[in-house]
Structure 1
Amino acid sequence: MTFSQKLPGAFYAGALGRVRAEMSAEGLAAMVLDDPLDVAYLTGFHHFPNERPVACWLPLDGDPVLLVPDLEREYAADQGARAEIVAYPEFPGVRSPFAVLAGHVRAPGQAAYAPSTSVARAQALAEAFPGTRWSASNAVGRVRLRKLPEEIALHEEAARIADAMIEAGVELVRAAVEAGGDLPTETELASHVISHGSSLMYAGHTDVVVVPMLTGGLVYGGPNSAQPHRLPGGDRLRTGETFMLSLGCAVGGRFVESERTFVIGEPSPRQARYYEAVREAQETGTEALVAGTTCEEANRRCLKVIEEAGLAEHIRHRQGHGIGLGFHEPPWLSDGDATELAPGMILSSEPGVYVPGHAGYRISDTVLVTESGPRRLTAYPRELTDVII
């Protein structure tokens, strides 16, 4: 049985309708979305972002337009982009890409671009549409916060693969320990789990949507793991130390992450103390992901567990972040984000402690907020006894 990563046309029709409702409430006649993730959300066109603008023109009434460079025209058509395709010759070109767009659409009185649109592109839009009043709007971002069932199915499949990547990494290390030879280096382990995830996807899926990080993540051992976003290097894992598998993948462009910290050999009292503090914080923080709770309150409850364990000095980051088309996207489980959690939101729950010269400890699950409470999409075991190799 194969799994299709393509979303049905009804999904895109619904997405356009929800964004248009936000636009109407703001008095907008049109929007120009040039964020690659917004473009994918509204049209289904995933592309390699570069200096050449790719944008979705979304009028309040009428069909959307997908603006692409000529080199992307056939590819957009092959992907079945849910919009009229308008191509410009090249960038920067004799005419601005947005001037080409202006020649194909009716200039609105009031329009908006996304908050992420660069100053240069905003200026180009103003020049191409001189009679239009422009502002920034987060209409698409607000709609993207809550995932629909079709998207959730993609996240669930990605979670299955991410957990399988964790298991593949554990099996590689366990086999090396049992053989009594050299343990793998961080890069060897990273290469193995990434390859495993990609192989699973291509073996079982049709219409694989290739995004910049189809499968990937961070792999580091011992003192290296005390640097939360350190990249894998040539150091070998060592018996008696910990190592971290911080992995993720995207199915249909929808991401998940699954992260666990492992101990090679019997954990020391120090290792057990740090691990249990993080495990309890992650449990508390995940339980707090309930509709109506604010992001900052969930974060406060989560990190309080680490603080009460006497490890506040080893906190380096918030509880987590939203996940969707972006690997990191709003809302933020952090102080300062008063967003109320709502059913359909998907977030990471990933507290950690980081002890320089010793190790880092982090556990992350991808969690769906539902009407009845939080539901973990990733499911690799979390008890200390489960992470001893």
Structure 2
Amino acid sequence: MDIEGRIRKLRRRMEDERATAVLVSAPANLRYLTGFDGVIDDGINGACLVTADVTRFYTDMRYADAAAAAAEGGPWEVGIQRENLYVEVCDELHAMDVDSLAVESSVPYGRFKFISEQFRGAVRVIDHLIEDFRQIKEDEEVGRIAAAAAIADEAFHHMLGYIVPGRTESEIALELEFTMRRNGSEGMPFSPIVASGPNGAHPHAIPGPREVQPGDMIVLDFGARVGGYCSDMTRTVCVGKPTDEQRRIYDAVLAANEAGIAAVRAGMPCVDVDKAGRDVLAQRGFGDYFTHGIGHGVGLDIHELPTIGPRSTQSLRDGAVVTIEPGVYVEGVAGVRIEDLMVVDDGGHRRLTNAPKELIEI
């Protein structure tokens, strides 16, 4: 990972924003800036302080040894809090005669308020301070995402032999998670979605006690994590032979998926990528049944920039990793979603999801 390059980019952004010091505390942004493996988790009490001369990672004694080992030979010095991390950081900033401090827009309000009260100068928010940089993936980042996608592909193949009538959604979700963990996933980037029959009409349905029935369409939305980086994919299968209407819905979603993918290339406005798939569904009579944006960025977080939807103001950038996931949701009947993961490169894109997309009958 080019950690020195990331710090240089941040310092250039600081110059542009006229920010004397930046304090970063979101776990994904901490991991991005430091490149530390085996240190940062969602429960960490940590922060990165960057000025023109200082790159310091703060944490508490729980992470002290791991942080010291990860920082060895790199640009980050490690500071260990004694009582309250943010009080101590503000005291150090005062000792350095720093009178203005910038924080991420994602910082929780309570933390922002506390820092503002402790710091003896101006505190302001910079929108997407680190997230903008994270859009463009380095080769090693893409490699980790691709490895996570391969684990998810393998898990999908396994599930085709596991799903049978009588299994509950919860049992299927548990098997899906166990399979990915067994094959190397570092936990789950999000709880798998298993939505059978009418539950498939809810895009983020929570797996429950419903038993799979013959004739059900089943939406499977899941991902793995490798080296801190996520994958995301969705497939929809049918238990038995699909009806003509189920087949018509599936074919429309597949065509929208392929149209969205075909539009993925550097410089393309995200709203136009969304429109490419959305228009297909509208032409086939399902425009009113597609209720979310067609995709999003993926990396250290399962949802990150860019946002690919009808109100997006962003464009795809070379090196971004994005999903394309159109869906049709018919309340009380069924839902279908198909999602692929790809990296924007070489004037087009390279697909990272390789599981089959034809309608599979199990």
TM-score by length of 1: 0.86
For 2:336, give the aligned amino acid: Y
- What is the identity percentage for the equivalent residue pairs of Structure 1 and Structure 2? 29
Q: Which consecutive unaligned segments of at least 5 residues does structure 2 have? A: none
Aligned to 1:200: 183
2:32 corresponds to: 41
In structure 2, distance between residues paired with 1:361 and 1:325: 27
Cα deviation 1:229-262 (Å, max 9, x = unaligned):
1111121212211112111011111111121000
Q: Distance in 2 between matches of 1:13 and 1:311?
A: 49
Detail structure 1 runs of 4+ shifted over 6 Å in the superposition.
none
C-alpha displacement of 1:79: 4.5
CA contact (8 A) 1:256 1:366 kept: yes
Name the structure 1 match of 2:361: 388
Which of 130, 148, 154 in structure 2 is aligned with 1:158?
Answer: 148
Is the 2:58–2:78 Cα contact (8 Å) retained in structure 1? yes
Aligned length: 356
Which digits, 9 at most, give the CA deviation of each residue in 1:96-138, with x for residues without a partner?
4222123445242443100011233223333333134534243
Structure 2 equivalent of residue 84 of structure 1 = 77
Q: Match for 1:67 among 41, 44, 58? A: 58
Work out the CA distance in 2 between the residues paired with 1:218 and 1:79: 35
Whether the aligned pair in 1 keeps the contact of 2:190 and 2:302 (CA below 8 Å) is no
Distance in 2 separating the partners of 1:318 and 1:324:
18
Amino acid of the residue matched to residue 171 of structure 1? G
Change (3 A) 1:107 1:331: farther
Structure 1 residue 16: Cα displacement: 1.3
Is this contact kept in 1: 2:101–2:121, CA < 8 A?
no
1:100 to 83, 88, 91: 88
Look up the match of 1:138.
Answer: 128
Gaps of 5+ in 1: 1-7, 91-95, 177-181, 203-209
> Matched residues in 2 for 1:371 and 1:24: separation?
31
Answering whether residue 47 of structure 2 is matched by residue 55 of structure 1, we say yes
CA contact (8 A) 2:189 2:302 kept: no
Q: Paired residue for 2:109?
A: 119
Amino acid at match of 1:282: N
1:181-200 to 2 correspondence within 5 Å?
Answer: 182-200=165-183
CA contact (8 A) 2:20 2:100 kept: yes
Look up the SS of the partner of 2:355 in the other structure. Answer: coil
**Matches of 1:33 and 1:271 in 2, distance apart?**
48
What's the CA shift string for 1:294-334, capped at 9, x where partnerless? 11111112111111111122112110111111101121111
Letter in 2 for 1:311: F
Maintained 8 Å contact 1:112/1:137: no
**Contact kept in structure 2, 1:345 and 1:369, CA below 8 Å:** yes
Do the aligned partners of 1:186 and 1:237 also contact (CA within 8 Å) in 2? yes
Contact 1:198 1:214 in 2 (8 A): no
Q: What amino acid maps onto 2:178 in structure 1?
A: S
Q: Are residue 272 (structure 1) and residue 247 (structure 2) matched?
A: yes
1:24 touches 1:60 (CA, 8 Å); kept in 2? no
Distance between the aligned counterparts of 1:364 and 1:278, measured in 2?
A: 10
> Are positions 1:293 and 2:268 aligned together?
yes
Amino acid of the structure 2 residue aligned with 1:377:
L
Between stretches 23-32 and 102-111, larger displacement belongs to: 102-111
Cα deviation, 1:38-58, whole Å, max 9, x if unaligned, reads 0111113453434x7421111
Equivalent in 237, 252, 275 of residue 227 of structure 2: 252
| Separation of aligned partners in 2, 1:130 and 1:190 | 50
Task: Measure, in 1, the Cα distance between the counterparts of 2:149 and 2:161.
Answer: 18
Shift of 1:183: 3.6
Q: Deviations over 1:326-376 (max 9, x none)?
A: 101121111221211111111110000001111110000111111320221
When residues 107 and 276 of structure 1 are mapped into structure 2, their CA distance, relative to the original with a 3 A threshold, is farther
Report the aligned-residue RMSD: 2.0
Aligned partners of 1:107, 1:264: CA distance in 2, in Å?
67
Q: What's the CA shift string for 1:3-41, capped at 9, x where partnerless?
A: xxxxx5xx2222212222222222222210111110111
1:18 aligns with 2:6: no
Map 1:164-175; keep pairs closer than 5 Å: 164-173=154-163
| Aligned residue number for residue 179 of structure 1 | none
Q: Does structure 2 conserve the Cα–Cα contact (< 8 Å) formed by 1:186 and 1:236? A: yes
User: Which residue matches 1:339?
Assistant: 314
In the alignment, residue 102 of structure 1 is paired with which amino acid? C
